[in-house]
A and B are shown apart, each in its own frame.
Chain A
Amino acid sequence: MPHMDRRIRVLIAKPGLDGHDRGAKVVARALRDAGMEVIYTGLRQTPEMIVSAAIQEDVDAIGLSILSGAHMHYFREVKRLLEAQGAEDILLFGGGIIPDEDVPRLKELGVAAVFGPGTSTQEIVDFLRRAVPERWRAQGLA
């Protein structure tokens, strides 16, 4: 199975003005420890910057971390730009302080998974190990 050799590449991004980066960094490090290639954007990224970094770095997934309440806006924008650039195959997921009510709305937008406070990093690792190769198979890459 060729895809077994391929390492999952993930962009962890902090969109907008929110500076709460503890979660993003812990997740980035956990994914790296799990053998993935992780690019962390640093703070204060616009949706444009995030999507352009994702395409340039040829990542399989983008994880957005938002604790400011502005999640609907940023997920919508990132999704829109991914589609505009023909990069909708990049898996979009995220986490932060996101009320349950908003999770179905995010899923409708095409966000693959939302991880709230208290999620173990292993859960996120497992999710990516499952979802990313699925995409590879769907795209005939594997």
Chain B
Amino acid sequence: MRKKHDWLRETYQKSLEKMPERPIAHRTLSDIAPEPLYTPEDIGVLDPEYEEKRGYPGEYPYTRGVYGSMYRSKLWTMRMFAGFGTAEQTNERFKKLLKAGQTGLSVAFDLPTLMGYDSDHPLSKGEVGKCGVAVSSLADMEVLFDGINLEEVTTSMTINSPANAIWAMYLAVAKKRGYDWKKLGGTIQNDILKEFIAQKEFIFPPEPSVKLVIDTFEWGPRNVPKWNFISVSGYHIREAGSTAVQELAWTLADGFEYVEAALKRGLDIDEFAPRISFFFDVHNDFFEEIAKFRAARRIWAKEMRHRYGAKNPQSWMLRTHAQTAGVSLTAQQPLNNIARVAIQALAAVLGGTNSLHTDAYDEALALPTEESATIALRTQQIIAYETGVTHTIDPLAGSYYVEWLTDEMERQAMAIIEEIRRMGGVVRAIEEGYFLRELAEASYRYQQEVERKERIIVGVNAFTDEIPLKVPIQLVDPEVERVQAERLARVRRERDPKRVEEALAGLRQAAVEGQNTMPHFVECALAYCTLGEMMDVLREVYGTYQEPAYV
């Protein structure tokens, strides 16, 4: 049996060599100095399954965290999702968030961008800049990151169907400004499977969509080695109405599906798997959420090691971003949401998340204002700096309930994963409408429980007396559409039409012949092809997808 002092001497020390302890007092308010880790040894109990099920932080199966020293050395990344209106407005918000102590950027795009339409497309009418920033060409991307050092920040971009094109635009900005791609860090969400399951921002049918994702698996590690080219996301699955167990199971099943597709292309698992990242929701049921994160790490590690034969420990590590549950926020008594978000954020931290977005209290009403977004960030800072939960790693390990619930969630999730495998995998299950049916059932069941008051939502179905309270709302300037249309017109006028034509032809040829599309997307971005032009090429080659209208 491996002893704690061995772990301290080996894994913990090694982790500190890379990243020393933070220079703050790792002491309680009574001046007790907690050790970095507590194990059954510390309270004199036996746990024969300790190594197999829990293990040590930074070691297989990573139940207790992926890094050896976790928050003792480095806090999670505080990454607030932001974007609205024009690239200029969002750039200004980014700069303010960085100044307020945020440690990474996270871009929200508007619906036309997410669906691969330019801002001046007829279907974009009324949607430009509404739920995120509009990016139709490299010209917008240049403005969006103006004055921000791309080698110093890490940038997460919530983009899926057009992920290759948007990533190419970001890389083109970096290239034009002379930044080294090898030094760029960030994430593109690029998880198309959960779009078919839940979020519904798909353009092409599942198979070519997955092909585009695997292009980034192949191209990414060789060209932008520090970039997470996918964030396999349970967030949207949960927000669409799944349970925590379904979120856990389906997200991991999606992850395995990508791994299998990449292996089928002949890629080396230990080359691409270390850059697969994850994204989970964190809802109200405190311990269930904590158990979910711990179970997710354990399942991923076991399957990657034993089922898929990955040898590199980095391939076994499930690194994850988390976001508090937008769906749990209430429009009634909106200030209560500050408390909900704090509790959810605490669960994510106790679950060992590597990155976190906290929702603003007004998000059931509109996009967050600058003030509400700042309170949300401050909530994370209070957890990080005032509560002491970062003194020791995975402080809830060994709790009978948390350990039991971690095992139980693993068991239930694995049963669902096996069921999906029997169906022939995630794409097959999508085609059969499995996820749509399951989600419709789960969300209707939940709504009925709320209406029967079997589940109490404070301010909604109980404790509803309230002093009417107006909260200020972030409104989006209707001028955005005009500003965007003008910039697009200028781009189309000033770019080199021959280079545009050649770049788009190259993209088309790669798509038709099944070659890797990424080099062509980069060339298209540099040539100032618009997002709509690139996606139209692929719409022609791949066709588009309509899901069945199932209630």
Contact = CB atoms under 8 A, between A and B. Distances in A.
A22 B443 contact: yes
Interface in B358-413: 364-367
A30 B330 contact: no
Contacts of B130: 68-70
Contacts of B476: 69
Contacts, number: 104
A97 B366 contact: yes
A32 interface: yes
B451 A46 contact: no
B224 interface: no
A73 B125 contact: yes
Contacts of A20: 199-200, 240
A117 interface: yes
Given A22-B240, A25-B443, A68-B111, A74 B126 contact: yes
Contact of A16 (B111, B239, B546): B111
Contacts of B456: none
Query: Which among A32, A43, A70 has the highest number of chain B CB atoms within 10 Å?
Result: A70
A1 to B, nearest CB: 29
B201 to A, nearest CB: 5
Query: Which among A17, A21, A28, A99 has the highest number of chain B CB atoms within 10 Å?
Result: A17
Interface string A102-127: 00000000000000111011100000
A70 B478 CA distance: 11
B269 interface: no
A73 B126 contact: yes
B457 interface: yes
Secondary structure call for the B interface? loop
Contact of B131 (A30, A38, A68, A120): A68
A42 interface: yes
Contact of A118 (B123, B126, B332): B332
A28 B549 CA distance: 11
B415 interface: no
A38 B548 CA distance: 16
Interface string B454-470: 00010011000000001
Nearest to B330: A118
Given A17-B114, A29-B444, A69 B367 contact: yes
B126 A19 contact: no
A69 B131 contact: yes
A72 B126 contact: yes
Contacts of A72: 126
Contacts of B330: 117-118
Contacts of A17: 111-112, 114-115, 117, 123-124, 127
Interface string A59-84: 00000000011101110000000000
A74 B130 CA distance: 13
A26 B549 contact: no
B262 to A, nearest CB: 26
Given A30-B447, A118-B330, A118-B331, A40 B549 contact: yes
A37 interface: no
B191 to A, nearest CB: 14
B111 A25 contact: no
Contacts of A70: 111, 126-127, 130
Given A22-B439, A72-B126, A118-B460, A43 B366 contact: no
A26 B447 contact: yes
Interface in A20-58: 20-22, 25-26, 28-30, 32, 38, 40-43, 46
Interface of B: 111-112, 114-115, 117, 123-127, 130-131, 195, 199-201, 239-241, 327, 329-332, 364-367, 439-440, 443-444, 447, 450-451, 457, 460-461, 470, 473, 475-476, 546-549, 551
Identify the 4 closest CB pairs spanning chains A and B, nearest first: A73-B126, A19-B200, A42-B549, A69-B130
Interface of A: 16-22, 25-26, 28-30, 32, 38, 40-43, 46, 68-70, 72-74, 97, 99-101, 116-118, 120-122
9 contacts: A17-B123, A19-B200, A20-B200, A25-B443, A29-B551, A42-B546, A68-B130, A97-B366, A122-B451
Given A22-B443, A40-B549, A99-B473, 18 more contacts: A17-B112, A17-B114, A17-B123, A17-B124, A21-B200, A38-B551, A68-B111, A68-B130, A69-B366, A69-B367, A69-B476, A73-B127, A97-B366, A100-B365, A118-B330, A118-B331, A118-B332, A118-B457
